[in-house]
A and B are shown apart, each in its own frame.
Chain A
């Protein structure tokens, strides 16, 4: 947790006040609470959060949230009220509350980007001043990660208003409607939850900015009550290099995978972006337990990460990845590599179906896990994204068919990087350049534009207001792969910078190389960790180590 010292002090005062407020509160009326039955939670929280005859505990029974939400709440109790809990007890409390007072999978998925620490533009903000009420300090997802009764939202908003001078009534009214305690999703999930059955083999596809696509398998083995050991082997589609990572995880509420993993071969380079780095894993397991998706991330600001998708193996031939993201119209003999499982000994070109105007002319080679084909794209082939159908299996949105690259988008389009100092590590930023076709409406930068995959570019930096050709060393440097490394010494100021990608081959209609820009603010390391070692250790409680009661 990162917090400004002055705000930390304010927090402590606030929570002292709120403790008194809580202690004097009557049980909220009008809505049924969620009874607390865990002896440890009752013992540790019961001094302040009184439990009534129905098992409802003040505040606790009228709120639901993610594992991260409960972990943050527990941290505040430890910091504000010196609640005496051991690390094992803390993990057990977070586990109980996340499972029994958690979110339904659908509710959690809507705010998963927050737990995944993704750069994400929130477009679901309420109109008017309320949109700024939450987001001037944190992501809106932090509020929507909670479900509370109307009375509890009111109490929350009033306490928040006292602390941050934000409007309370309007906030409470909105949140009570947008994020109520009782929802059809939660009712359905509470009834549906079944035994976790994640053990065994999973197919994995992954991608990481600057490194491209990976594919492989993950073996999951039980390691306790809803806990698992994992071993994943990933192969780069780009260069064939392999990576083995092992990890341990806890699954909360039947779907929320939280774990840590690292490469079996430690990094020899010590580079911050090293793919063997220890990473936190956040996965959302689909209710049918047949697929999962999420992000494994690391870095001082969680700026590096794999986007991961998992699926259960099938006995059928199963394509899981393709090496090309797009093919141009009026092109012949494009060599396409299809990666998958259970490919049979005999494959006919016609069995690869990419849709109208795209034809596999020849199977160049194939093994049970790889199939290389030559593909022709007709000049009049309809533009757009195509599924690949192979016998009874479908690889959705496998390829884009395009006529030209209209523009380049640098991703992330908006980003932060951070200078380091004696106390803080640097925050890096990995960019990638993605080509786009203008889409059916003929206009670039609209919703129907077609993403074509990475474009070969040269990278540079442009500091706002700096003279053309001026050195950017003060800010940092851009690698040939698009990794921005801020300068070693903080200049004590913030810089607005363009991360500029200039295409090596693709040109605009005037014959100039296509160019894309990403906006990055390179900041001073002003965000101070609160320096409380105990609290920093808490960051690891949710996902490190076993949680079983025998520990």
Chain B
């Protein structure tokens, strides 16, 4: 049983989270955790927000076509101890992203670690 851990008070602050709906939000279930993928791309957007931080990044394929990937990370409260801040990524940064791809056909990934332009690696999640 996995709970979504939003560490902020929502308007329905008095309620108890229900595991079923928390899973429905998505958790890991939407991602294929059997094998991690790695991409090199350029950050287009970075959102430091709950319930997940989000990094959108552009990846050029072998044919030169650019595709925007939607990367989801854990929440700020879990990323801060791993060295992340709201300004870790900026639009235009060249990064190497590792994570688990979404099960659907859209280009999405659950990010487990990122290699920054300065060569520093930041983990975002324990790898399965």
User: Residues of A at under 8 Å CB distance from B?
Assistant: 1-4, 7, 113-114, 117-123, 125, 127, 131-132, 135-141, 299, 301-303, 413-416, 418, 427, 443-446, 464-465, 493-494, 496, 517-519, 521, 523-524, 526-527
Contact = CB atoms under 8 A, between A and B. Distances in A.
Given A414-B8, A465-B108, A527 B70 contact: no
5 contacts: A416-B12, A494-B24, A517-B47, A519-B51, A523-B21
Contacts of B11: 117-119, 299, 301-303, 416, 427
B98 to A, nearest CB: 20
Given A2-B14, A127-B81, A494-B24, A465 B5 contact: no
- Max chain A C-beta neighbours (<10 A), residue from B14, B20, B104: B14
B81 A4 contact: no
Contacts of B37: none
B106 A524 contact: no
A182 B5 CA distance: 31
A74 to B, nearest CB: 15
Contacts of A415: 10
A119 B15 contact: no
Nearest to B25: A494
Contacts of B7: 121-122, 125, 131, 135, 140
A446 B87 contact: yes
Task: Report the contact-size class of chain B (Cβ under 8 Å from the partner).
Answer: 35 or more
Contact of A122 (B8, B14, B24, B26): B8
A521 B51 contact: yes
Interface string B1-24: 001011111111111111011001
Given A4-B18, A414-B8, A443-B87, A138 B13 contact: yes
A414 B4 CA distance: 14
B16 A3 contact: yes
B84 to A, nearest CB: 12
- Max chain B C-beta neighbours (<10 A), residue from A136, A302, A415, A496: A136
Contact of A416 (B10, B49, B81, B102): B10
B50 A414 contact: yes
Nearest to A118: B9
Contacts of A132: 5
A444 B48 CA distance: 12
A527 B15 contact: yes
B54 interface: yes
B86 interface: yes
Contacts of B52: 496, 519
A443 B26 CA distance: 33
By Cβ-Cβ distance, the 8 closest A-B pairs, closest first, are A414-B50, A2-B15, A526-B21, A121-B8, A301-B12, A301-B11, A139-B9, A303-B11
A464 B71 CA distance: 11
A526 B20 contact: yes
A131 to B, nearest CB: 7
- Max chain B C-beta neighbours (<10 A), residue from A444, A521, A524: A521
Contact of B49 (A117, A413, A527): A413
B77 interface: yes
Contacts of A526: 18, 20-21
Contacts of B45: 517
Interface in B19-69: 20-21, 24-26, 45, 47-52, 54
B16 A2 contact: yes
Contact of B25 (A122, A140, A303, A496): A496
Contacts of B12: 2, 301-302, 416, 418, 427, 527
A121 B12 CA distance: 14
Given A2-B14, A527-B18, A493 B24 contact: yes
A301 B12 CA distance: 5
B46 to A, nearest CB: 9
Nearest to A6: B18
Contact of A496 (B5, B26, B76, B77): B26
Contact of B13 (A114, A413, A444): A114
Contacts of B18: 4, 526-527
A299 B21 CA distance: 21
